[in-house]
Structure 1
Amino acid sequence: MIEAGSREWVRATLALSLGSFLVFLNLYQTHPLLPLIAQVFSVSSLSASWTLAGCTAGLASALLLCAKLADRYGRRQIMLVTLTLAILLSLLISLVGEFYLLLLLRFLQGALLAGLPATAIAYMGEEFDQRGLISAVGIYIAANSLGGIAGRVLSGLLAGWFGDWQHAFIGIGLFSLLLLPIVFRLLPRQTHFVAVSSQRGQFTQALFQHLTNPLLVAAYLIGGLNFMVFLNQFSYLTFLLASPPFSLPIQWLGMLFLTYLAGTLASCLSGRATHRFGSERMLLSGIILMALGTLLLLHGSLLAIFIALLIASFGFFLAHACASGWVGQHVAQHRALASSLYLVAYYLGASLGGMYLHPFWQQGGVTGLVLGIELVLGITAMLSIGLARLKLSRHPVG
């Protein structure tokens, strides 16, 4: 097994983190462009949001297939092939002139982007020792947030400079192609992977096993519900800040996502904090921070919104690192499938969150948005408390 801090651990963690960076760089590039896309294609804010929600839906829909293929053919091959195709698709999307084609290709791109997230945690679980796994997951998720930040900021800058959304896809596609060979070179070949034969009913049996394990299901729900409200609050806030009295240009809308840097810090600290205080405590702490940060949105000033998103980002990524790491620690077989089920819930939440928050936004603006978010966080807080009690009942202290 690869030990934490070893040369192979550094190579593998760097490769997976860079690959993750590229996934989220391409996934979130339309986020600051939503007001511009709504204007260019003459569609509503909810329709424009599907250029992001459709991509996350494509990702969610392909995760189980990618996990199944990875269990049979190997993690490394699936990660590298799907990532390459997804990056090439960014360049193709820049040529699209019809809104329905934009949505269709973004869905397809999301499906291809599923390859790495579906298998990366499973790769770590098989190749790393326990300490190496926990530490690597935190760094890997930090790379998620950095990729999300870079995709949003860079696309906002490119769209602002060139005056259209197409150059955002061109720039991000070319930048991704420059970094992709580093992932190929650094990612070690697997030494502990054992192919799972495609025996009839085995996949269904494994699926049933994971979905009836309350230690896993609670983590799936927490991850999905948290992301449902966290991601989509940014979508509605871009429309708020693009309108009077703020009237921020698209370049500055992209800068809003620099608040994700707080999440990057939280992800990096999550491994050490989990070792010291336990996954359950840190999971609940992250949710509480999200709830407190969201309340600050009610102040209404630009500074308050920025601080609110910093706090919420720190809390969200702390909770996400704990929940995804929890899945890796509490499954012995079919790791890729278990991790993929977490991500299915996670990205399904992202896809549905816009529709969930839309009536709150229409009826109450920012106040309604905060109400909708806090209702969901109350549910995930109770689930995290239940998760801690369930673990204690199964593994009592002393």
Structure 2
Amino acid sequence: MIQAGSRAYWRATLALCLGSFMIFSNLYVTQPLLPMLAADFQVSPLSASYSFTVSTLTLGLSLLVYGPLSDVLGRRGIMLITMAGVIVTTLALSQTNSYEMLLGLRAVQGFFLGGLPAIAVAYMGDEFDKEALMTAVGLYIGANTLGGIGGRLIGGFAGESLGWANTFLVIAGVSLVVWLSFAFLLPRSSNFQARPFHLRTMLGNMLDHLRNPILLTAYLIGGFNFFVFINQYSYITFVLGDEPYSLSPRFLGMLFLTYLTGTLGSALAGRAARRFPQPLCMAFGIVVLMLGSLCTLLPSLWTIILGFFINSFGFFFAHSTNSSWVSRNAQHAKASASSLYLVFYYTGASTGGIYLHPFWEWRGWTGVIIGSLVVLVGTLSAALYLHRKTRVAGEVTNAVAC
């Protein structure tokens, strides 16, 4: 097993972090371009947001395929093939001339984007020891945030200077360099044990995970937190692109530098989980996310930015803890368990905008925050329920042992 701090640990962790950067930069590149896409294709803000949410939807659905498939065929090869598919579809996106074609290609791209997220944590679960796994997951999820930042900065700066079509050419070039580095750095699996593919077994494993109240609660917490968090970014681009702020795509892209606190939150979550119960760490992250959301209601541009810095820290603190929790508590078919978590996670991202849209129509940004807090009260309650349930289970186990 790969131990924390070893050469193999840093090679594998760096490779997976680079891969994560590539995946999420491609996923989020359109988000600062939403006002530009709405204007160029003459579609509504909700329709423009589909250029992002259609990718998250197909990404989420693809996880149902890649996780079980990797239990049979292995992890590394699938990650390399799907990352190559991302590069090809990104190049094709630069050549599209209709919004329908753009949405279709983004849907295909989303399917390829799911390969690495579905498998990366399972790869670490196979190859890393327990201590290395907890720290590596935090670093990997921190790279998710850097990918989100990078994609949005590329989208904002390249979009304003070169237009949205050439932006896809830029990010395809970046992705090719990352893919080559990933292929060189990632060690081949040494502890993976292939399982024969049986559809009934695969479906049975997924049903087992869904019937496990510990895992199901974690799935719901992760899905509904992302349901709110990521779609707040989509709606705030329309707020800040309009009067009185009138920010250009370049500056809208810079808003996503607020993800930097998410990188910090992900890294700290692994350390916090060694000292405190993980469900309480989830609850802490959700409370921070609620406080940041409230901060954005103050009308100053700087308080809105501060609110998103706070939001990002809280969300990724909770998400990193949640992801690690699922991997540690799945008793079998760990890749399937991690994939199901991400299915809930990305389904939340793809549907949250639809949920928040009536609140947007009702009260604008204030309505978005009201709708967000309704959901976050529910996920906070779920995290506290998870803490009570696991604490009682621990007390029972200790009593039996005595």
TM-score by length of 2: 0.97
Residues of 1 paired with 2:288 and 2:237: CA distance?
22
Q: What are the Cα deviations for residues 350-397 of structure 1, in whole angstroms up to 9, with x where unaligned? A: 000110000001100111111001001000000000111111122228
Quote the offset at 1:333 in angstroms: 1.3
Task: Give the fraction of aligned pairs with identical amino acids, expressed as a percent.
Answer: 47
Aligned counterpart, 1:317: 316
Indicate yes or no: 2:13 matched with 1:19: no
Alignment partner, residue 51 of structure 1: 51
Asked if the contact 2:297/2:366 (under 8 Å) is kept, the reply is yes
1:228 is matched by which residue type in structure 2?
F
Other-structure match for 2:81: 81
Distance 2:87 2:258 in 1: 25
> For residue 259 of structure 1, what is the aligned residue in structure 2?
258
Residues 76 and 189 of structure 2 are in contact (CA less than 8 Å); yes or no, is this contact kept in structure 1? Answer: yes
SS at match of 1:395: helix
Match of 2:138 in 1: 138
**Letter aligned with residue 208 of structure 2:** Q
Residues 109-258 of structure 1 mapped to structure 2, 5 A cutoff: 109-162=109-162, 164-258=163-257
* In structure 2, distance between residues paired with 1:86 and 1:394: 44
- Residue identity matched to 1:334: A
Q: How far apart in 2 are the matches of 1:185 and 1:78?
A: 15
> How many residue pairs are counted as aligned between the two chains?
397
Q: Provide the aligned C-alpha RMSD in A.
A: 0.9
Maintained 8 Å contact 2:277/2:387: no
Q: What code does the residue aligned with 1:248 have?
A: L
Does the alignment pair 1:389 with 2:388? yes
Task: Structure 1: state its 5+ residue gaps.
Answer: none
> Which amino acid is 2:274 matched to?
H
Cα distance in 1 for residues equivalent to 2:117 and 2:216 = 18
Q: C-alpha separation between the residues in 1 aligned to 2:229 and 2:76?
A: 30
What SS does the corresponding residue of 1:201 show, helix, strand or coil? helix
Name the residue aligned to 2:375.
Answer: 376
1:247 Cα deviation from its structure 2 partner: 0.6
Q: State the alpha-carbon separation in 1 of the partners of residues 199 and 302 from structure 2.
A: 57
Q: Which residue of 1 aligns with 2:106?
A: 106
Paired with 1:25 and 1:250, the residues of 2 have a C-alpha distance of 16
Measure how far apart 1:295 and its partner are: 0.4
CA distance in structure 1 between the aligned counterparts of 2:319 and 2:199, rounded to whole angstroms: 34
| CA distance in 2: counterparts of 1:253 and 1:187, whole angstroms | 34
Q: Secondary structure at the match of 1:132?
A: helix
| Matching residue of 2:345 | 346
Q: Residues 136-166 of structure 1, C-alpha deviation per residue, up to 9 Å, x if partnerless?
A: 000000000000000001111001112x211
Match of 1:93 in 2: 93
1:331 lines up with 2:302 in the alignment: no
Structure 1 residue runs of 4 or more that deviate by more than 6 Å after TM superposition: none
- Secondary structure of the residue aligned to 1:3 is coil
Residue 247 of structure 1 aligns to a residue in which SS? coil
2:2 touches 2:129 (CA, 8 Å); kept in 1? yes
For 1:206, the aligned partner's letter is N
Change in Cα spacing, 1:25 to 1:392, as seen in structure 2 (3 Å) is same
Deviation of 1:168 after TM superposition, in Å, equals 1.2
Distance, in Å, in 2 between the alignment partners of 1:301 and 1:361 is: 19
Deviates more, 1:80-89 or 1:192-201: 192-201
2: CA distance, partners of 1:199 / 1:61: 19
State the Cα distance separating 1:332 from its structure 2 match: 2.6
State the Cα distance separating 1:115 from its structure 2 match: 0.4
C-alpha offsets along residues 177-229 of structure 1, whole Å, 9 cap, x if unaligned? 12211100110111111111123511111111101001100010000000011
Partner SS state of residue 299, structure 1: coil
* Aligned residue type for 2:189: Q
Structure 1 Cα separation of the partners of residues 209 and 143 of structure 2: 27
- Matched with 2:35 is 35
**1:70 paired residue number:** 70
Q: Which shows bigger deviation, 326-335 or 283-292?
A: 326-335
Q: Give the whole-Å Cα distance in 2 for the aligned partners of 1:257 and 1:4.
A: 31
Task: Describe the SS at the equivalent of 2:314.
Answer: helix
Alpha carbons of 1:200 and 1:83: their partners in 2 closer, same or farther (altered >3 Å)? closer
Which deviations, in whole Å up to 9, do the C-alpha atoms of 1:19-77 show, x marking residues without a partner?
01100010100000000000000000000000000000110111110112111100111
Q: How far apart, CA to CA, are the structure 2 residues paired with 1:333 and 1:76?
A: 20
Residue 284 of structure 1 aligns with which residue?
283
Return the alpha-carbon distance in structure 1 between the equivalents of residues 72 and 382 of structure 2. 33
Letter in 2 for 1:28: Y
Contact 2:356 2:371 in 1 (8 A): yes
In structure 2, the CA distance between the partners of 1:112 and 1:200, relative to structure 1 (3 Å rule), is closer
Q: Give ranges in structure 2 of 5+ residues lacking alignment.
A: none
Q: Structure 1: which amino acid aligns with 2:62? A: A
Q: For 2:339 and 2:277, how far apart are their aligned partners in 1?
A: 23
**Hey, what's the Cα distance between the residues in 2 that align with 1:192 and 1:330?**
19
